Amino acid sequence: MKTVCEVCGGDVEVPDDAIKGEIVSCPDCGSEYEVVEIKSGEPVLKPAEEIGEDWGE
């Protein structure tokens, strides 16, 4: 399954066996997306949350 990257417009490949919560990334710009659900054979994605590094400060 393919969908379009919201950042650069490139093709984001989502595996056919993708499950809810799986992370996929755009090969062109590296943006990461989380699979929210598969609706009627089409993936529904949202931008993945980026967790910042905690250096113990």
Residue by residue, pLDDT tens for the chain (57 residues) are 889 999 999 999 999 999 999 999 999 999 999 999 988 888 999 999 877 777 776
Q: Which domain holds residue 18?
A: 2-47
- For residue range 17-32, what is the model confidence (pLDDT) as tens digits? 999 999 999 999 999 9
How many domains are contained in the chain?
A: 1
Give the H or E element holding residue 27: none
Residue 52: inside a domain, yes or no? no
Question: β-strand 23-25 against 11-13: which pairing, if any?
Answer: unpaired
Supply the pLDDT for residue 33: 96
Q: What is the pLDDT of residue 27?
A: 95
> Is 55 part of a structural domain of the chain?
no
**54 vs 41: CA distance, rounded Å:** 38
Give the C-alpha separation, 50 to 44, whole Å.
19
